[in-house]
Amino acid sequence: MLYHLLPQLADVHILFNLFNYLTFRSAGALVTALLLALLLGRPTIAWLSRMNVGQVVREEGPRTHLAKAGTPTMGGVLIVAAAAASTLLWAELTNAYTLIALGVLVWMGALGFLDDYLKVVRKKTAGLVARYKLVGQLTAGLGLGLFLVTVPISPVGATVTSVPFFDEYQAVFWAPAYVAFVAFIITASSNSVNLTDGLDGLAAGLTAISVATFGVFAYVIGRVDTSAYLGLFYLPGAGELAVFAAGITGAALGFLWFNCHPAEVFMGDTGSLALGGAIGALAVLLKAEFLLAIVGGVFVMETVSVIIQTTVFRYTKNSGGEGRRVFRMAPIHHHFEKLGWAEPKVVIRFWILGILFAMIGISTLKLR
């Protein structure tokens, strides 16, 4: 909104010209979302407490988690609200990239809110039926894929995407396959963040790292000079995603203020599905889907640990009558808790891994 209003006042004072600059507006979005989350955090926690939306703890989980039962959840409403408000305030609202990313964030947040509502308000411990949740995720992904194929928003082919470490090679999809690929990315990304959200501050911190990294890519890809110099696709208008990414980063950091150990509030599926969907949308819109596996390396690690655990358990149970486990508990962050690591140690070490994966991702800008 400010982008459309204040630059017109540049003749009054040159400071208003700052609102034309992407870097200034990205910084503004980050600070705005951070402050909104900090200011609204306490009232939001009080509201959730009055609503009696307490966390349900898995009985087979670490014993230390039993004390978390009843802690307010659904705190993801704070993240979505702060990120959306800061984006609407600082981004170019006629930009297709901005509107699409916001749409995915809100859609996935609403899906997660419904799941949380059924789980903690209506006391249906299973939450939203898994297949219905999957339908909601696939709907967002298929809708995004179909839109990008039928309404190209960039000069680069709709079904073309970049390959990390190579500037002379691109992956080209058959249109229906690309739509399915986008649906997979959105669904997998939202579920991976959802699986990672099991320790105080873990998902919020890793999301801030990953989204900030994609914000850097958005800025570079949206500029004709830097994209050409680095051998990247030039996507006019994609730079506005840096504002969106900054808003989510600020909201995640603000939420982390209340979510760090010992957590006063949890994001629930409202936050994890929204954040995962937003990360997936950023990767798709920036044609960096394969890069997502690098930047979100910890999310991939968490998801793969669950796949390995369930696959091995079912196979050994069907073949030998007794299921065997590869990890003491999945996702893998619980495995390390079962080994005796304190929860803050697991979280901080996973953050370090997240930063490492992000640096590897950024290194692909030059290692091409």
CA distance 31 to 86: 9
Q: Each residue of 174-198: pLDDT tens digit? A: 999 999 999 999 999 999 999 999 8
Q: How many domains does the chain have?
A: 1
185-221 burial, b at 16+ Cβ within 10 Å, e below that, comes to bbbbbbbbbbbbbbbbbbbbbbbbbbbbbbbebbbbb
Q: What is the pLDDT of residue 10?
A: 60
Residue type, 348: I
pLDDT at position 294, please? 97
pLDDT tens profile 29-66: 999 999 999 999 999 999 998 888 767 666 555 666 66
pLDDT at 257: 97
What rounded mean pLDDT belongs to the chain?
Answer: 90
Mean pLDDT, residues 133-156: 93
Q: Tell me the pTM.
A: 0.94
pLDDT at 1 (0 to 100): 79
pLDDT the model gives residue 122 = 61
Q: Does residue 266 register a pLDDT over 70?
A: yes
Instruction: Please indicate, yes or no, if residue 48 is contained in any of the structural domains.
Output: yes
Domain membership of residue 340 (yes or no) is no
Residue 72 lies in a domain: yes
Q: Reply yes or no on whether the pLDDT at 161 is more than 90.
A: yes
The answer as to whether 330 is a domain residue is no
CB 116 within 8 A of CB 270: yes
239 domain residue, yes or no: yes
- Confidence class of residue 124 from pLDDT cuts 50, 70 and 90? low
Has residue 74 got a pLDDT over 60?
yes
279 within domain boundaries: yes
Does 260 fall in a domain? yes
In the predicted structure, residue 221 carries a pLDDT above the cut 60 = yes
| Tokens coding 191 | 């579920």
Domain, as residue range, for 211: 2-293
Region 292-299: mean pLDDT is: 97
- pLDDT value of position 129: 60
| pLDDT at 317 > cutoff 90 | no
**Choice among 30-34, 157-161, 296-300 with the minimum mean pLDDT:** 157-161
**What residues have CB less than 8 Å from 229, skipping those under 6 apart?**
none
Given a cut of 70, whether residue 238 has pLDDT beyond it is yes
79-93, 165-179, 236-250: segment of lowest average pLDDT: 165-179
Residue 338 lies in a domain: no
pLDDT of residue 97: 97
Give the span between the Cα atoms of 262 and 67, in whole angstroms: 10
